Chains A and B, each alone.
Chain A
Amino acid sequence: MDTKFTFLDQLERDLQDAAAREQDPRRAFVAAAPVDRRPSKRRTGSWGTIAAVLVALLVVAGAIGGLSQLNQNSASSSDTGSAPQAQATGASGNAGEGSTKDLSDAAASPVPGSAPGIGTHRVQLSAEGDDSFSAFTPGDQRSGSQAAAPAQDLSKIIRDGTITLVVPKGGFGTAFDNATGIAEAAGGFVLSSSISQENQGTLMLRIPSRKLDGAIVKLRSLGRLAELNLTGKDVTSSYIDLKARLSVLQTQRELIVKLLHQSTTVSGQLSLSNKFSDVQTQIEQIQGELNVLNDKVDLATLKVTLREEGVAAPTGTEDVGHVSLGSAWDRAVQGFFGVVGAVVVGLGYLVPLLVLAGLILLVRRAVIRRRAAS
């Protein structure tokens, strides 16, 4: 068309190009690149729409993943509740009516001699009745045929726990003294203690790990068990890692000392001396960490709460205050990976559905085109 408008002539050519691209889609890749494109709000809008759809997809995936994990957790809880002895060795208990047991992660308890890993193993018993109980020990984690194996227990487990006992009226003072005596008899000591209102108090005990269970049994004789919570954190891999690093550094130190003796130049001796200093510092740091780890492994920490019959249990506010920055970080990291995991699980559910939806859309498009052509 030859109009008096250059613009309209150009537009006609653009439309013809678009028509040609429609006929031959392969040309689209080349021809679709615009000569003069100004920023378009619409394009920004479409990107925004895509981003919104993606976010919505991830949220839905997260929700689905979260729900599925919730279901799995509840399923595994009921499993462990029905067969606790099979899941967690040494976590056997005979809870009375109304008691609850939480043996989460017990199935993943480290087996001595197997590949070590870091994990938290928890035994929780909350009972308002008088129950017989025996808690697990690191050695007890060998069950069945594993228990019979004479393998040396190389696992390093930090054990912590809390126990709440309700003592008869007027018996608080005696029970408090007896608790101290039990800790000392087991070779431990009282780290700290506090008494409030003369009829309830808390003791923080450090007891040799191997004697923790015996001490708990004795403590339970002081009154009625209201709550018991034991955790075991497997730090074997950290321990082995530190030991390995220590060994390497010690070898390095010996080598540096040898070279130092052989060195004849001042600059060489200075350089080696600096390296020696660095390595020595690192050795001391690792040694310090190992000492702390050993101390935590050797001595379990047990928080004993004693209260007389009829005294209300303290609220959980003090526990909130005990949340350390380290544990808060751990929880945050766990939470982050939990959400990511939930999204990944949810995507596993969504992807087949999206593929199906895509196929349906393709078929629908083909049908529409065929109808239009006819």
Chain B
Amino acid sequence: MDERTDAQLLLASRMDPEAFTALYRRHAEALLRFFARRTLDPEAAAELTAETFAQAFASRATYRDQGVDGVAWLYGVARHQLGRFFRSGRVDAAARHKLGMPERPIPPEDFDRIEELVDFEPIRKALVEAIEELPDRQQDALRLRILDGNSYADVARALSCTEMNARQRVSRGLRTLALALQERGLALTTEAE
């Protein structure tokens, strides 16, 4: 376990990229949760995490230790990415391209795990209202998956579609929901974030 602070890791990573790996290991899951709770979309959350770390790595030389903690700087990059996502409805990949990093699809098993990061309970009422405004196909998929807690295999069977198709419907529905909740001033955040 690296004992250095986030700021020290960021400064050290200019010459020693391994230090950035340590920073990544320290904050990757938290950042993924940060994005998952705001976007409600596993795919978008994963991509935003990748793009944020790529952007942070590419611009780590611009970090100055002027009292701003390293993790605050990292979340500043994350908020910038999130803002762009909500404005454009898509995740930018410029930083990954700049570094020659591939845009990787999310493995199916990660879908469920990322969704688990989102605690829907505090906003269940608002969620039910927002779901009503979605297209029927997405509504059905979201009810089966989020409200009834079915697996994607069961959702696919109920909707008579492939599992991949069911994931896409849920993903799109969640993305629309996230935007709707943003507009209502509700975000799935915790105090720690």
Does chain B have a CB within 8 A of A313?
no
Interface residues of B in 100-140 (CB under 8 A from A): 100-107, 109-110, 113-114
Does chain B have a CB within 8 A of A4?
yes
Does chain A have a CB within 8 A of B65?
no
Q: Is the CB of B14 within 8 A of A12?
A: no
Q: Is the CB of B100 within 8 A of A19?
A: no
Nearest B residue to A5 via CB reads B110
Does chain A have a CB within 8 A of B144?
no
Grouping DSSP codes into helix (H, G, I), strand (E, B) and loop, the B interface class, with mixed when no group exceeds half, is helix
Nearest B residue to A4 via CB reads B113
How close is A366's CB to chain B, nearest CB, in angstroms? 13
Report the Cα distance A10→B32, complex, angstroms: 14
Q: Is the CB of B17 within 8 A of A11?
A: no
Does chain A have a CB within 8 A of B15?
yes
Does chain B have a CB within 8 A of A15?
yes
Does chain B have a CB within 8 A of A115?
no
Does chain A have a CB within 8 A of B7?
no
Among the listed B101, B103, B106, B110, which residue makes an inter-chain contact with A15, where contact means beta carbons less than 8 Å apart?
Answer: B101
Report the Cα distance A121→B104, complex, angstroms: 69
Pick out which of these stretches binds chain B: A33-41, A173-181, A249-257: A33-41
Interface residues of A in 82-118 (CB under 8 A from B): none
How close is A1's CB to chain B, nearest CB, in angstroms? 4
Q: Is the CB of B107 within 8 A of A34?
A: no
Pick out which of these stretches binds chain A: B49-57, B150-158, B173-181, B182-190: B49-57
Q: Is the CB of B32 within 8 A of A8?
A: yes
Nearest B residue to A10 via CB reads B104
Does chain B have a CB within 8 A of A359?
no
Known: A18-B57, A34-B103. A6 touches B97 (CB 8 A): no
Nearest A residue to B42 via CB reads A7
Q: Is the CB of A12 within 8 A of B28?
A: yes
Report the Cα distance A41→B94, complex, angstroms: 10
How close is A364's CB to chain B, nearest CB, in angstroms? 14
Total interface residues on B, CB under 8 Å, equals 36
Residues on A with beta carbons closer than 8 Å to the beta carbon of B101: 14-15, 17-18, 34
How close is B20's CB to chain A, nearest CB, in angstroms? 7
Does chain A have a CB within 8 A of B163?
no
Does chain A have a CB within 8 A of B99?
yes
Q: Is the CB of A32 within 8 A of B100?
A: yes
Total interface residues on A, CB under 8 Å, equals 38
How close is A175's CB to chain B, nearest CB, in angstroms? 79
How close is A332's CB to chain B, nearest CB, in angstroms? 43
Q: Is the CB of A18 within 8 A of B54?
A: yes
Report the Cα distance A16→B46, complex, angstroms: 18
Among the listed A6, A22, A41, A42, which residue makes an inter-chain contact with B109, where contact means beta carbons less than 8 Å apart?
Answer: A6
Nearest A residue to B117 via CB reads A5
Q: Is the CB of A34 within 8 A of B114?
A: no
Does chain B have a CB within 8 A of A28?
yes
Does chain B have a CB within 8 A of A373?
yes
Residues on B with beta carbons closer than 8 Å to the beta carbon of A148: none
Does chain A have a CB within 8 A of B21?
yes
**0/1 string, B1-26, CB within 8 A of A gives 1:** 00000000000001101101100110
Residues on B with beta carbons closer than 8 Å to the beta carbon of A369: 61
Q: Is the CB of B92 within 8 A of A42?
A: yes
Residues on B with beta carbons closer than 8 Å to the beta carbon of A38: 103
Among the listed B14, B53, B94, which residue makes an inter-chain contact with A11, where contact means beta carbons less than 8 Å apart?
Answer: B53
Does chain B have a CB within 8 A of A296?
no
Residues on A with beta carbons closer than 8 Å to the beta carbon of B69: none
Q: Is the CB of B100 within 8 A of A21?
A: yes
Residue pairs across A and B with Cβ atoms less than 8 A apart, 9 shown, are A1-B24, A8-B29, A8-B32, A15-B21, A15-B24, A15-B54, A35-B104, A40-B93, A373-B15
